[in-house]
Amino acid sequence: MPIEPRPVLKLAKVQDMNIKEGATVLVRVDYNVPMKDGVVTDDTRIRESQKTVKYLLDKKCKVVLIAHFGRPKGKVEPKYSLKPVVPYVEKIMGVKVHFGEDCIGPSALSAIQGAGQSEIVLLENLRYHPEEEKNDDNFGKELAKNGEFFVQEAFGALHRAHASTSAVTKYLPGGIGFLVQKELEYLEKIMTNPQRPYVAVVGGAKVSDKIDVLYSLIDRVDAILVGGAMAYTFLAAQNTNIGKSLVEQDKIEEAKKIILKAFKNNVDFMLPSDHIAVKEVKEGAEKHVTQSMAIPDDMIAVDIGPRTEMVFSDKIKAAKTIFWNGPMGIFEMKDFVSGTKSVAYAIAEATKKGAITILGGGDTVSALKVSGIKPDEVSHCSTGGGASLEFVEGKILPGVQALNKN
């Protein structure tokens, strides 16, 4: 089904918002970072907000950051506090960061009053309040009291209609930061006028997670390369023996429809032609390369095979536009990472040759890391898996809709 082009780029941008010098600016960021024992193990999301925050600090603004962390389910749980993030924000932004013990009310306002120009205030976890996830209007109004302008910089939260992405926009002049601009502009490129050939690489465990995105891609791409455990459901739909490999029995009929739609649309729908298979999924397991698409009865496929690696790599290197979502195998185990690495290398090579390459989804970014490919070796790594997939599905993101409306 053809999808209307969305009015994404009509949104106000932070650089065009006439934010006056010294203003207090409320910025919704995505600081839902991986943390172990109070130590941030990956600060990418904090770094991604740097350009917008520094732009505002240079205008002598007081920058008030709001974010969620984990799933505290609407109550205060110390393990979900954003306080441990403060030193990382200080280090990355290079200025003093004050902490507000709540995201609304007197403690938030007093932390903001205590900060000077060109300083940052990080407020406590939005999700300590059940009203956040309910998109409660009054909670949005309370959040709006923390600033004079609102800047949306949490791309990873745009697919959720929460108070900090939706309700708050009714009460402050709002726009999007540099990260959200970059995310939407790149995703818009592959939605409206992609250079051809356009190849999508789709992996991961479940067909059920990717049904809508596959239907949307079939309307746009020239080829879809399917890997990961979801490939076995498609192989089962073609009556190929898949041994003990993971299969979603209740999605076999849907898989048949997707294959048929790709055929009707003249889209090359490519499944693995061989596999790495084992008798037991564990490090050091004896690996077998299957002779064909079929997997022996007593085996579980854990990665695409060497022939598939070659075929997929050639297809990727010949493409002008590439969208990659999801690994090709159990990449978390070093024995089964080869297929995912081969895709990452081919995408990096295609980027060097001028292709536009976009990675959507958390697992895909982790897969890139495991492959030793740096994020700047591809055109764009999306910071929001759910948001980027919903955008590619053609859905209007609630956080974008709210800013458009208000």
pLDDT for res 44 = 86
Q: Would residue 398 count as lying in a domain? A: no
Which domain, by its residues, includes 167?
8-180
Q: Would residue 111 count as lying in a domain? A: yes
User: Are 248 and 367 found together in one domain?
Assistant: yes
- What is the distance between the alpha carbons of residues 124 and 100, in angstroms, rounded to a whole number? 6
- What angle (nearest 5°) sits at the alpha carbon of residue 257, between those of residues 256 and 263? 90
Query: Which one from 74, 362, 369, 395 is the annotated catalytic residue?
Result: 362
If pLDDT is split at 50, 70 and 90, which confidence band does 1 have? very low
User: Are 216 and 104 found together in one domain?
Assistant: no
> Is the pLDDT score of 76 beyond 90?
yes
Query: Which one from 6, 28, 45, 127 is the annotated catalytic residue?
Result: 45
Q: What is the CATH number of the domain that holds 276?
A: 3.40.50.1260
Could you read off the pLDDT of 244-271 as tens digits, one per residue? 998 999 999 999 999 999 999 999 999 9
Spell out the residues 6+ positions from residue 206 whose beta carbon is closer than 8 angstroms to its own: 229, 230, 248, 251
Query: Which one from 51, 145, 386, 395 is the annotated catalytic residue?
Result: 386
Rounded-to-5 percentages of helix, strand, coil across the chain: 40, 15, 40
Query: Which one from 51, 206, 279, 395 is the annotated catalytic residue?
Result: 206
Does the annotation count 196 as an active-site position? no
Does the annotation count 45 as an active-site position? yes
pLDDT for res 2 = 39
Average pLDDT score over residue span 273-290? 92
pLDDT for res 362 = 64
DSSP secondary-structure letter at 334? Answer: G
Does the annotation count 206 as an active-site position? yes
User: Are 155 and 229 found together in one domain?
Assistant: no
Number of domains the chain is built from: 2
Alpha-helical (H) ranges within 241-384 are 252-264, 306-317, 338-352, 362-370
Closest alpha carbon to 72 in 132, 113, 1: 132
Q: Would residue 404 count as lying in a domain? A: no
Does the annotation count 127 as an active-site position? no
Choose the final residue of a domain: 121, 152, 180. 180
Strands 120-123 and 39-40: unpaired
Q: Would residue 261 count as lying in a domain? A: yes
The mean of the pLDDT values for the chain is 92
User: Are 232 and 154 found together in one domain?
Assistant: no
> Is the pLDDT score of 7 beyond 60?
no
User: Are 170 and 231 found together in one domain?
Assistant: no
